[in-house]
Structure 1
Amino acid sequence: MVTVSEAKKRIVENTPSLPVVRLPLAVATGHVLAEEVIAPVALPPFRQSSMDGYAIVHSDVTEPGKPLRLAGESKAGQAALPVVESGTAVRIFTGAPVPDRATAVVMQENVLVADGVVRINEYPVPEGKNVRKAGQQIARGAVALPAGTPVSPGAIGFLKGMDVNEVAVYAKPRVGLLVTGDELLKAGEPLVPGKIYESNSDMLKAALAQLGISQVTISYASDDLEATIGALGRLLDANDVVLASGGISVGDYDFVGKALEALGAETIFYKVRQKPGKPLLFGKKEGKIIFALPGNPASSLVCYYEYVFPTLRKIMGNKEPFLRSVKLPIRNAYQFGGERDEFLKAKVADGEVVSLDGQESFVIGSFAVADALIYLPVEQNQVAAGDLVEVHLLPL
């Protein structure tokens, strides 16, 4: 059995990144850049006005109400521009090129125009006011985005503005999911004594979708060693990551561990000193990552968020793969015994964290409203209301 911190350390040490692929920018959302992107053009590529107003020579304005002669206009997309001579002003619009020799733009609210005369009611006018410099956002040849940056909608807008249409990113993994248990019923089957409806596959598939992972193959195996070996072997052949749900405890009909051994998989760790989710296995085989998760749904989801989620993020190139952690005061006192760290389903509200009812490993209903997990190590097995605790924020 390993501690929570040791389990996470071994995951980091044993998780490689996936190969680099080049993708059209339009379909790269959710991937992570594997190479830095160099700006092929400056942004903006020319001096731009940041206001609707009038482009002037700032030193012409020597007093409020200074009259200048209107000498044309500059609108967005215009190539041929009027010249701003001393004593003149050019009508200009937001995003339009600032004409040569103009040194400032006065917003239209500070200007009166009549009979071709522009009176500037702002004094003094600083040089460069309301003028975006060429390359002010980024210079040509500079690093636009470093390797390791997630491709977000904002990143796409930034790169498309420089006509970057393809990027090198880490591939997303193909995930195989094995569900075991003779007691499980599929959707729509009649409920009979001794049976329960299987929910872990859809639950985990939804969690994978939060990471943008859509290539998920789900297989089922009865509580039989040969059936489990066959199903796991097929999933390992076809996927980068394999998750097994159930069958990893020490019961007479738990065959996942024996099946992985028969397939020649290496176990990196088995069992973590935590509650819920003690019977967790992490292993690998020929570069493929394997997790065997507890069958109880709450245990399974805790293990997913604390171990599988960061592993998948690391595989996809994320430099900070683990759940974001913050310190918050806990609203209600809590204590526990034993020698295992505890994860509590929780909700963040009004600057504090609230542990929810229904912390048992089989209770998934509290997870339906949880947005965080409280992590309490055994050294902090008794907390009073208002004590600071470590909180792991769930992706929503």
Structure 2
Amino acid sequence: MVTVQEAKQRVAAHTKLLPVQVRDLSAASGFVLAEDIAAPISLPTFRQSSMDGYAILHTDVVEKGIVLSIRGESRAGQAQVPALHPGQACRIFTGAPVPEGATAVIMQEHTSAVNGKVTLQEFPVPDGKNIRRVGQQIREGEVALKAGTRLSPGAIGFLRGLNVQQVTVYRKPRVAMLLTGDELLQPGELLVPGKIYESNSGMVVAALAREGVTEVALSYTQDDSRSTIEALEKLTKDFDLVLINGGISVGDYDYVGQALGEIGAETIFYKVKQKPGKPLLFARKDTTLYFALPGNPASTLVCFYEYVLPAVRMMSGFPDPFVRKIRMPVKNPYSFDGDRDEFLKAYVEGEYVIPLEGQESFALRSFAAANALIYLPAEQNTVQAGELVEVHLLPD
């Protein structure tokens, strides 16, 4: 049995980056850049107005109430704009090109126009006011985004504005999930005594989808040794990450550990000194990683967030793969017995974190409301209201 920290260290030590791939920018959201991207153009590429108003020469404004003659207008997308000379103003709109000679833009609210003249009610007007300079955001040739950047919606928009159409990113893992258990029913099947509806695959698939892993191969096997071995042999050939759910405890019908050994997988650790999720197994064969997750739903999800999710992120190039940790005061007291660290389903509200009712390993109702896990080492088995605890924030 290993500690929580040892388990995480071993996952990190045995998880490798996946190869890179070139993807269309439109299909790269959530992926991590494998190389720097240099700006192919400057942004803006021309001087732009940041306001609706009037382009002027700032030197014309020597006091409030200056009157200038209006010479044409500049609209967004307009290619040709007449140059300005002293004593002239050009009607201009947000994003439109600033005329040659103009050195400032006065916002519309500070002007009044009538009969081809505009009166300016602002003084002084500094050089460059309300004008976006060429390359103000980024200049051609500069690094737009560094390798290791996760492509957020903002990053996608930024690169699209630079006319970047393809990016080189780290590939997401190909994931398979093998579910064991003769007691499992699929949604819609008739509920009979001794059977339960299988829920773990749905929540794991949903959690992976949030990481951009949208194609997960699901398969099922009977609770016997030969069936489990054959299923794992097939999955090893085609997937980077194999998640096995159930069959990893010490019951007479738990065959997963034995089956992994039969196919030649090396067990990196088995059992973690934690609650819930003690019977977690992590193994490796060549480039394929295996996580054998406990069958109880809450145990499965805790192990997913603490170990599987970081592995997925490491494979995908994330610089900070583990869920974000903060320290917060706990709102209610909590205590537990035993020598294992505990993960508590919790809810962060304001400046406090609240342990939820229903901490049992089979209980998912509390996980449905949780937005965090409280991590309590065994030596911190009694906490008082207001005491600081380590909080792991679950992905949004």
TM bucket (normalised to shorter chain) is over 0.9
Deviation at 1:194, TM superposition (A): 2.1
Say if 1:177 and 1:201, in contact at 8 Å, map to a contact too.
Answer: yes
Q: Secondary structure at the match of 1:34?
A: coil
Q: Matched residues in 2 for 1:112 and 1:363: separation? A: 67
Partner of 2:78: 78
Partner of 1:238: 238
> Which amino acid in the other structure matches residue 280 of structure 2?
L
Q: Matched residues in 2 for 1:160 and 1:205: separation? A: 30
Partner of 2:9: 9
Q: Secondary structure at the match of 2:227?
A: helix
**Structural mapping, 1:320-359, within 5 Å:** 320-359=320-359
Q: CA RMSD, aligned part only?
A: 1.1
Say if 1:331 and 1:354, in contact at 8 Å, map to a contact too.
Answer: yes
Query: Which blocks of at least 5 consecutive residues in structure 2 are unaligned?
Result: none
Deviation at 1:115, TM superposition (A): 2.4
Partner of 1:146: 146
Say if 1:110 and 1:120, in contact at 8 Å, map to a contact too.
Answer: yes
Q: Matched residues in 1 for 2:187 and 2:62: separation? A: 80
> Which amino acid in the other structure matches residue 138 of structure 2?
I
Q: Matched residues in 2 for 1:189 and 1:132: separation? A: 63
Partner of 1:131: 131
Say if 1:44 and 1:136, in contact at 8 Å, map to a contact too.
Answer: yes
Deviation track 1:307-353 (CA, whole Å, cap 9, x = no partner) reads 00111011111111111111111111011121111000011112211
Q: Matched residues in 2 for 1:27 and 1:69: separation? A: 50
Say if 1:173 and 1:215, in contact at 8 Å, map to a contact too.
Answer: no
Partner of 1:261: 261
Deviation track 1:235-281 (CA, whole Å, cap 9, x = no partner) reads 11121100000111112211100000111101111111100001111
Q: Matched residues in 2 for 1:188 and 1:73: separation? A: 65
> Which amino acid in the other structure matches residue 53 of structure 1?
G
Q: Matched residues in 2 for 1:132 and 1:369: separation? A: 46
**Structural mapping, 1:292-311, within 5 Å:** 292-311=292-311
Partner of 1:366: 366
Deviation track 1:278-305 (CA, whole Å, cap 9, x = no partner) reads 1111111111111000011110110001
* 1:92 and 2:72 correspond: no
Partner of 2:50: 50
Further displaced range: 303-312 or 193-202: 193-202
Deviation at 1:188, TM superposition (A): 2.7
Q: Matched residues in 1 for 2:202 and 2:79: separation? A: 56
Say if 1:372 and 1:392, in contact at 8 Å, map to a contact too.
Answer: yes
Q: Secondary structure at the match of 1:305?
A: helix
Q: Matched residues in 1 for 2:112 and 2:191: separation? A: 79
Q: Secondary structure at the match of 2:192?
A: coil
Deviation track 1:164-206 (CA, whole Å, cap 9, x = no partner) reads 1111111111111111112222233322222222221222112
Q: Matched residues in 1 for 2:182 and 2:54: separation? A: 77
Q: Matched residues in 2 for 1:388 and 1:198: separation? A: 37
Q: Matched residues in 2 for 1:192 and 1:236: separation? A: 34
Further displaced range: 150-159 or 130-139: 150-159
Deviation track 1:55-82 (CA, whole Å, cap 9, x = no partner) reads 1111111111112222222111122221
Q: Matched residues in 1 for 2:100 and 2:52: separation? A: 17
Q: Secondary structure at the match of 1:164?
A: coil
Deviation at 1:102, TM superposition (A): 1.1
* 1:318 and 2:285 correspond: no
Q: Secondary structure at the match of 1:213?
A: coil
Deviation at 1:388, TM superposition (A): 1.1
Partner of 2:285: 285
Say if 1:176 and 1:236, in contact at 8 Å, map to a contact too.
Answer: no
Q: Matched residues in 2 for 1:286 and 1:390: separation? A: 35
Partner of 1:158: 158
Q: Matched residues in 2 for 1:253 and 1:264: separation? A: 21
Q: Secondary structure at the match of 2:267?
A: strand
Further displaced range: 72-81 or 139-148: 72-81
Partner of 2:225: 225
State TM-score, norm by structure 1. Answer: 0.98
> Which amino acid in the other structure matches residue 201 of structure 1?
S
> Which amino acid in the other structure matches residue 166 of structure 2?
E
Identity score, percent: 61
Deviation track 1:21-80 (CA, whole Å, cap 9, x = no partner) reads 101111111211111111100111111100011111111111111122222221111222
Deviation track 1:86-130 (CA, whole Å, cap 9, x = no partner) reads 121111111011112211111111112222222211011111110
Deviation at 1:6, TM superposition (A): 1.2
Partner of 2:65: 65
Q: Matched residues in 2 for 1:63 and 1:189: separation? A: 82
Q: Matched residues in 1 for 2:21 and 2:201: separation? A: 29
> Which amino acid in the other structure matches residue 259 of structure 2?
A
Partner of 1:180: 180
Aligned length: 396
State TM-score, norm by structure 2. Answer: 0.98
Q: Matched residues in 2 for 1:198 and 1:364: separation? A: 13
Q: Matched residues in 1 for 2:118 and 2:13: separation? A: 68
Further displaced range: 183-192 or 242-251: 183-192
> Which amino acid in the other structure matches residue 210 of structure 1?
R
Q: Matched residues in 2 for 1:336 and 1:49: separation? A: 63
Deviation at 1:212, TM superposition (A): 1.8
